[in-house]
């Protein structure tokens, strides 16, 4: 007679003995709570409610109106499957039997890679599909794309809509090494889903050498500039091509604006030799790029006559 004053609805996974409170509000003579089944492990759960009126009376129940135990099966909503990755073409070979003979058939297929290398400044085709637990496409669904890296927090970068077959497409540019998180927020009947795609972008730098022709004992100058994020104090390794491998012979750090420069003197060349050089940029904490390399440059050196 005094009316509902307040109460609490709780949930417990069967067999656990642990009860968890659900945010509960009072509406007239009812207690209302919303269960987030996306955050609960799959299984059977028991639900109970505590209530009190304005006169101080209290009551509890874990029964439905028909007297049966108040149990639910989680998840309550339909499961979804969200796939995604960098779309790459690949050739596959299959053996098929035609007219009584076995033959090889080659065709190109599209594969989705959750981790893929993308050159700095180049676009990467992100593709995927949203479907329910039976594999049926979910068309017209709104997706959100978030981006985060080692130097920038996660932020929303794009909204997408699935097509008639539940597919979506997005072109992401290789700016830095980063993680794209594609999110389907779900609905009142469908569970949310998400997929992460890692874009691995190698570091890059320009390189030049002056002069390109030198005599033994003369000094040449190597210089360059970082591409992309141009920071000071980035380690740059200068490498020379030896038979079968690259050998680091000098290291230098970038200055303001990502510029670097160093010199080298040739001292043991006989005859005429052509040397190849490049700059290697190792992976470094706080620098959101993978290990990368510059283009190669060549120097023609003339030395004393070989004996």
- Residues 135-184 have pLDDT tens digits of 899 999 999 999 999 999 999 999 999 999 999 999 999 999 999 999 99
Same domain for 89 and 189: yes
Question: Is 1 a residue whose pLDDT tops 80?
Answer: no
User: Last residue of a domain, which of 74, 95, 129?
Assistant: 74
> Does any domain span residue 11?
yes
Residue 163: domain span: 80-200
> Does any domain span residue 132?
yes
The whole-number average pLDDT for the span 53-67 is 89
Same domain for 108 and 31: no
User: Last residue of a domain, which of 200, 216, 245?
Assistant: 200
**176: helix, strand or coil:** coil
CB contact burial 161-175 (16+ within 10 A = b; e otherwise): ebeeebebebebebb
CA distance 244 to 90: 29
User: Last residue of a domain, which of 158, 184, 200?
Assistant: 200
> Does any domain span residue 274?
yes
pLDDT at res. 233:
93
Question: Is 295 a residue whose pLDDT tops 80?
Answer: yes
**Number of domains making up the chain:** 3
Instruction: Supply the pTM of this predicted model.
Output: 0.79
Same domain for 183 and 147: yes
Same domain for 144 and 255: no
Same domain for 292 and 267: yes
Same domain for 65 and 156: no
Same domain for 251 and 176: no
pLDDT band for 292, please (50, 70, 90 cuts): very high
């Amino acid at each position: 007679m005094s009316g509902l004053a307040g109460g609490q609805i709780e949930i417990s996974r069967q067999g656990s003995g642990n009860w968890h409170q659900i945010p509960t509000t009072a509406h007239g003579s009812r207690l209302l709570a919303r269960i987030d089944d996306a955050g609960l492990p799959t299984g059977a759960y028991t639900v109970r409610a505590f209530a009190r009126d304005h006169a101080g009376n209290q009551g509890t129940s874990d029964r439905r109106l028909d007297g049966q135990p108040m149990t639910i099966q989680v998840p309550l909503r339909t499961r979804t499957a969200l796939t995604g990755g960098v779309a790459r073409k690949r050739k596959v070979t299959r053996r098929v039997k035609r007219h009584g003979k076995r033959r090889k058939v080659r065709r190109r297929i599209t594969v989705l890679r959750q981790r893929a290398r993308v050159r700095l400044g180049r676009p990467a085709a992100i593709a995927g599909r949203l479907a329910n637990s039976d594999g049926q496409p979910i068309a017209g669904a709104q997706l959100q794309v978030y981006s985060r890296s080692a130097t920038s927090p996660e932020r929303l970068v794009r909204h997408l809509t699935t097509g008639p077959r539940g597919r979506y497409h997005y072109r992401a540019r290789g700016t830095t090494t980063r993680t794209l998180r594609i999110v389907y927020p779900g609905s009142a009947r469908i569970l949310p889903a998400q997929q992460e795609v890692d874009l691995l972008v190698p570091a890059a730098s320009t390189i030049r050498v002056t002069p390109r022709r030198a005599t033994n004992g003369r000094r040449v100058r190597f210089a360059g500039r970082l591409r992309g994020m141009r920071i000071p104090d980035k380690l740059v390794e200068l490498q020379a091509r030896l038979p079968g491998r690259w050998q680091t012979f000098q290291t230098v750090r970038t200055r303001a604006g990502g510029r670097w420069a160093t010199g080298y003197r040739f001292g043991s060349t006989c005859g005429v030799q052509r040397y190849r050089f490049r700059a290697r940029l190792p992976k470094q904490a706080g620098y959101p790029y993978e290990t990368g390399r510059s283009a190669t440059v060549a120097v023609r050196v003339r030395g004393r006559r070989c004996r």
